[in-house]
Amino acid sequence: MIVKYDYSVDLRSVECFVRVAETLHFGRAAGELHLSQPALSQRVRILERDIGAVLLERDRRGVRLTEAGRAFLPLARAAIAHGERAAESARRAAQGLQGRLRLGFTVIASYTALPRAVQAFRRMCPEVAVDLVEINSLAVEEALDRGEIDLGVLHPPLERPHLRVLPLPAEQLVLALPVGHRLADQPTVTFADLAEEPMLAAPRSVGPVLFDRVIACFRADGVEPRIVQEATPVTTLAGLVAAGAGIGFVTRGVAEATRPGVIFREMIGAPAVPMAAAWATPEPSPASRQFIAFLTQNFIPTANPAR
């Protein structure tokens, strides 16, 4: 007949056994463990009871390991080491130094300090696996709500006000012109200069607030914009400018990446694209919190407190 044992072993009791086995002295082991000798003896007895075998022989000549104790000792040491590693792993995960960070971001965000920050963060926290997904701002909000990502870098105002937000520095809009355009020689351009120009623009549905602000800038200068084609993302828009399809606005980060056949000019009175980091839970995940702190301290020192 096979006898089945149902027992659990307390790691602190295992540690007590190991210390006695290594010192072969209850009094010395009790001092090292900051326990009274009776408390230590009781823990060892409970451990032996739970295991169902005598591990230590005690008599006037001292303490000796039994055959069962010698068999148990190496595995007991391994169990303690494993428990210590597990505890350390839990602590590091709670601090955001270990685990996984699922980060969603927009195309515009990919032309900011974000890529360099991710690269540097990976070097600082090699035990955090960073998963990256590039999607539009609304899709970032949806992914946060569905729990598909932990942190998103997107463009306020948000359609989901329950999301927590950390404002980041905005990205200034600049004008993209094809090489040889009549405005290319001007260091700065006004909205009045763009009268009758064929404009490329992202659909209003992609960012209605920014779209309306740009249109308002045109109308404030007495100009009705002539939008000839909708284009998104901004990298596609820059390609269409290079192809001579029209002119349009991109962020300064995109302009700094440069593109053959396109030049960029500052626009007087042009708005900026708002940027923010967002998360769905009351508090960001530990890895998200660690990344946010790293991002704001090392790459975006002007970021504001979360609302």
CA–CA distances in Å: residue 306 to residues 15, 132, 163, 276, 292: 45, 22, 11, 10, 11
User: Which tens digit of pLDDT belongs to each residue from 74-104?
Assistant: 999 999 999 888 888 888 888 888 999 999 9
What pLDDT score does 86 carry? 85
Indicate the burial class of 191 (C-beta count within 10 angstroms; 0-12, 13-18, 19 or more).
Answer: buried
Closest CA to 278 of 155, 108, 171, 96: 155
The two structure tokens encoding residue 146: 């569905």
The whole-angstrom separation of Cα 40 and Cα 43 is 5
User: Which tens digit of pLDDT belongs to each residue from 207-252?
Assistant: 899 999 999 999 999 999 999 999 988 889 999 999 999 999 999 9
Q: Quick check: 295 pLDDT over 80?
A: yes
How far, in whole angstroms, is CA 122 from its chain's centroid?
10
Global pTM reads 0.75
Angle (CA) 87-92-97 rounded to 5° is 160
The whole-angstrom separation of Cα 72 and Cα 67 is 9
Largest CA distance in the chain: 106
User: Which tens digit of pLDDT belongs to each residue from 125-163?
Assistant: 999 999 999 999 999 999 999 999 999 999 999 999 999
Mean pLDDT across 28-35: 91
